[in-house]
Structure 1
């Protein structure tokens, strides 16, 4: 899957993430068995598809204060020091450093920065489709997953109750820029 011909509709260029049609979600286990899920509702980014997909890149910025677990008090607690400390670190960023293949999937390696800590992270990405809409605009759809160690990025509170690993799920819709 290392050539553009293997991705139907593939077109090199700059694609802007449509946050209204995309989702940045996470899941963490509490007490080893309860799942807490949430989203970050404010984010932006660009995907640059190169002639060779393996030369492509992605950059994204998430507004940490936009966390939404559907529980207002928990959302407020998570924004304090020991968790995301959004007053000091208002954003979470991802900047890719390379793309490689793994069967039908792409692995997008990059630098994930949260709480002023930058850690290498790998997104397992699937191209869901690239199509031209009725308005003539090209849209690309991607799904990706990764795991993040809470301790590794500097989360120090709640370790007795919250598992160290957060699962991250991305459903991305991006529109090609002219």
Structure 2
């Protein structure tokens, strides 16, 4: 977003200006990750955003946040690895086609923190995102945030000796005001 009308939102009073309902734009949103193979070599990839909704109250508090990504689209650019990760030993896309994040609250600060729950294969794991930026322009808001997730805590424990336990997540979520 590069318009001169852009506003960077950083305080609860500013979030109050965004009060209302918002729908996630999957085509403009991204979820990227970095993990470790053989505990040393970085592996990067992405998972496609499927859907999401958010609500902000007039006092700037989060009333709801629900977002999903599609496991079948897990992509690192290595088809053999990607097929394995989508399979039963890792994410099991056939039985669990989505990962869901449910936001619970935003704690203002530097950075602000979005606290919520990540659901992977029916297992719920607390996950906090450091919110790097909230930029608003008209009826669109772009949120950039980062988190670190322990795949073992999420029930994705295959190949422990070959694949590191932690994934760094980077999210760019584009929301459009719901009419």
Corresponding residue for 1:125?
Answer: 131
Structure 2 unaligned spans of 5+ = 1-9
Query: What do residues 101-143 of structure 1 show as CA deviations (whole Å, max 9, x unaligned)?
Result: 222x2211111100111011111113331012xxxxx110110
The size of the alignment, in residue pairs, is 170
- Is the partner of 1:163 in helix, strand or coil? coil
Moved more, 168-177 or 37-46: 37-46
Alpha-carbon distance in 2 for matches of 1:51, 1:126: 22
**2:169 maps to 1:162:** no
* TM-score for both structures, normalised by structure 2: 0.88
Which one of 14, 21, 33 corresponds to residue 26 of structure 1? 33
Whether 1:81 aligns to 2:81 is no
User: What is the root-mean-square deviation of aligned Cα atoms in Å?
Assistant: 1.7
Does the Cα contact within 8 Å between 1:107 and 1:125 map onto a contact in 2?
A: yes
Kindly report structure 1 stretches of 4+ aligned residues shifted beyond 4 Å: none
Deviations 1:139-174 (A, max 9, x none): 101101111111111112111011100111101111
For residue 69 of structure 1, give the secondary structure of its aligned residue in structure 2.
coil
- Aligned partner (choices 36, 45, 55) of residue 38 of structure 1: 45
User: Could you report, residue by residue, the CA deviation over 1:37-94 in whole angstroms, capped at 9, with x for unpaired residues?
Assistant: 1111242101212222233431101111111111112111111112101111111101
SS at match of 1:19: coil
> 2:150 matched to which residue of 1?
149
Which residue is equivalent to 2:13? 4
- TM-score normalised to the size of structure 1? 0.88
